[in-house]
């Protein structure tokens, strides 16, 4: 092997000829396996070019990935705003807020990589997008009827397209999981383009959300000694929660049906709206 030290701009890097991409793969694998005798890789002129080209490709992919993440974050923002608007409107119309909280979740890079590895190590941008698009906006309500009212109101909007609807309230999962899932697309307007972005909307009650977050913890535990008993307990809790949700809705409707004695504030508002009508 010819010593290329003299031709190298950096005299500290020892460059030799003759390395090919197979050698680089073996070197990388050796480092992963821990069988590489040295962390140094002898670099040839070709190798430098190879690495340089790949560095560019990696940088380009990273930029495209970040851009995609930004686009999904914007899509979530659009959906969140739509729900905030609906919440405000309901507040004025029905004098109560149907939404307790809205949470948006953009998948963490680590869990995207983990999912990519699980589904066959395809590191293309398309594969990345498939997993990034697994994002969710979670809307938590107090009552079951609000879930369907909000879902209808969202789906009626003419920029929203329904891709799939999974009603895990009408058809709970075997473990007891309940939620209404809507997979929709929403257009997002950027400076020079419009993109239809896919978002999963999960709408559930506070009680269903409480259950789902506890059940979710179980998924990340390995070797649970009394797993069967925990699963059975969770299922029993899900059923109790469902019955309670139904009951709470019934009580609320009963209370609402009771005629209101107008308060001073109500009388004043009524007068104001009559004055408004005069000037329309
Ligand atoms: P994933 O591959 O997990 O995304 O499932 P999927 O694509 O088949 O869709 P599904 O509607 O079953 O689940 C989508 C999302 O709903 C999940 O990522 C969770 O956030 C939530 N989810 C679904 N099932 C369960 C469940 O049994 N327990 C909990 N805690 N969350 C669930
Ligand atoms: Mg999914």
What CATH number is associated with residue 230? 3.30.460.10
Angle at 214 between CA 150 and CA 107, to 5 degrees: 65
Regarding the beta carbon of 166 and ligand 1, being less than 6 Å apart is answered yes
Residues of the chain above pLDDT 70, percent:
80
Lowest mean pLDDT across 75-89, 106-120, 138-152, 158-172 = 106-120
Largest CA distance in the chain: 98
Interatomic CA distance for residues 152 and 78, integer angstroms = 17
With both helix axes pointing from N to C terminus, report the angle between 144-156 and 45-94 in degrees, rounded to the nearest 10: 110
Regarding the beta carbon of 76 and ligand 1, being less than 6 Å apart is answered no
Nearest CA to ligand 1 atom 6: 134
User: How many domains would you assign to the chain?
Assistant: 1
Structure tokens at 63: 């930029």
Regarding the beta carbon of 216 and ligand 1, being less than 6 Å apart is answered yes
Residue 211, domain member (yes or no): yes
Residue 1, domain member (yes or no): no
Structure tokens at 92: 């004025």
Q: Does residue 94 register a pLDDT over 90?
A: no
Nearest CA to ligand 1 atom 25: 177
Regarding the beta carbon of 235 and ligand 1, being less than 6 Å apart is answered no
Q: Does residue 6 register a pLDDT over 90?
A: no
Regarding the beta carbon of 215 and ligand 1, being less than 6 Å apart is answered yes
Q: Would you state the pLDDT for residue 114?
A: 78
Dihedral angle computed from the Cα positions of residues 172, 151, 127 and 72, in that order, rounded to the nearest 10 degrees: -140
Structure tokens at 240: 């109790």
Look up residue 120 and give its DSSP letter. T
Instruction: Please give the number of the atom of ligand 1 that sits closest to the Cα of 211.
Output: 30
Look up residue 97 and give its DSSP letter. -
Q: What is the pTM of this model?
A: 0.76
Q: Can you list the alpha helix ranges (DSSP code H) found in the chain?
A: 21-33, 45-94, 109-118, 125-132, 144-156, 206-219, 227-257, 264-278
Residue 46, domain member (yes or no): yes
Q: Would you state the pLDDT for residue 32?
A: 65
State which of 170, 181, 201, 220 you would mutate to test the pocket of ligand 1, scoring each by most atoms of that ligand within 8 A of its C-beta.
181
State which of 130, 179, 198, 221 you would mutate to test the pocket of ligand 1, scoring each by most atoms of that ligand within 8 A of its C-beta.
179
Regarding the beta carbon of 212 and ligand 1, being less than 6 Å apart is answered yes
Q: Would you state the pLDDT for residue 251?
A: 96
User: pLDDT-based confidence at 38, cuts 50/70/90?
Assistant: low
Task: Please give the average per-residue pLDDT across 41-54, as a whole number.
Answer: 68
Structure tokens at 203: 């709408």
| C-alpha pair distances (Å), 181 with each of 4, 148, 166, 224, 239 | 62, 11, 5, 29, 19
Residue 242, domain member (yes or no): yes
Interatomic CA distance for residues 275 and 269, integer angstroms = 10
Phi/psi of residue 194, each to 5°? -120, 130
Domain membership of residue 85 as a residue range? 12-260
Residue 130, domain member (yes or no): yes
Residue 6, domain member (yes or no): no
Residue 29, domain member (yes or no): yes
Structure tokens at 147: 């879930």
- Burial of 128 (C-beta count, 10 Å sphere; 0-12/13-18/19+): buried
Instruction: Please give the number of the atom of ligand 1 that sits closest to the Cα of 105.
Output: 20
Residue 268, domain member (yes or no): no
Structure tokens at 185: 């697309």
Nearest CA to ligand 1 atom 1: 134
Instruction: Please give the number of the atom of ligand 1 that sits closest to the Cα of 216.
Output: 30
CA of 209 from ligand 1 middle (Å) equals 13
CA of 148 from ligand 1 middle (Å) equals 19
Q: Does residue 11 register a pLDDT over 50?
A: no
Phi/psi of residue 38, each to 5°? -140, 150
Phi/psi of residue 165, each to 5°? -125, 125
């Amino acid at each position: 092997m010819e010593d290329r030290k003299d031709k190298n701009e950096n005299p500290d890097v020892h460059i030799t000829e003759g390395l090919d991409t197979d050698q680089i793969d073996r070197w990388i694998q050796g480092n992963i396996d821990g069988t590489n005798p040295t962390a140094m890789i002898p670099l040839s002129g070709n190798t430098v070019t190879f690495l340089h080209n790949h560095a560019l490709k990696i940088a380009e992919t990273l930029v495209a990935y970040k851009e995609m993440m930004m686009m999904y974050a914007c899509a979530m923002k659009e959906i969140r705003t739509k729900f905030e608007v609906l919440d405000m409107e309901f507040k004025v119309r029905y004098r109560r807020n149907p939404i307790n909280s809205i949470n948006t979740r953009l998948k963490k890079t680590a869990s995207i990589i983990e999912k990519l590895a699980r589904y066959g190590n395809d590191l293309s941008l398309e594969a990345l997008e498939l997993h990034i698009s697994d994002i969710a906006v979670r809307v938590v309500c107090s009552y079951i009827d609000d879930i369907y009212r909000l879902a209808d109101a969202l789906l009626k909007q003419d920029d929203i397209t329904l891709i799939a609807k999974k009603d895990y309230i009408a058809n709970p999962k075997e473990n007891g999981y309940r939620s209404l899932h809507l997979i929709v697309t929403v257009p997002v307007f950027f400076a020079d383009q419009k993109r239809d972005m896919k978002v999963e909307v999960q709408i559930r009650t506070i009680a269903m959300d409480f259950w789902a977050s506890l059940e979710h913890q179980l998924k990340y535990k390995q070797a649970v000694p009394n797993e069967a008993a925990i699963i059975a307990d969770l299922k029993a809790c899900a059923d109790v929660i469902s019955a309670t949700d139904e009951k709470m809705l019934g009580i609320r409707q009963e209370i609402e049906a009771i005629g209101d004695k107008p308060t001073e504030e109500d009388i004043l508002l009524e007068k104001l709206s009559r004055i408004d009508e005069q000037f329309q």
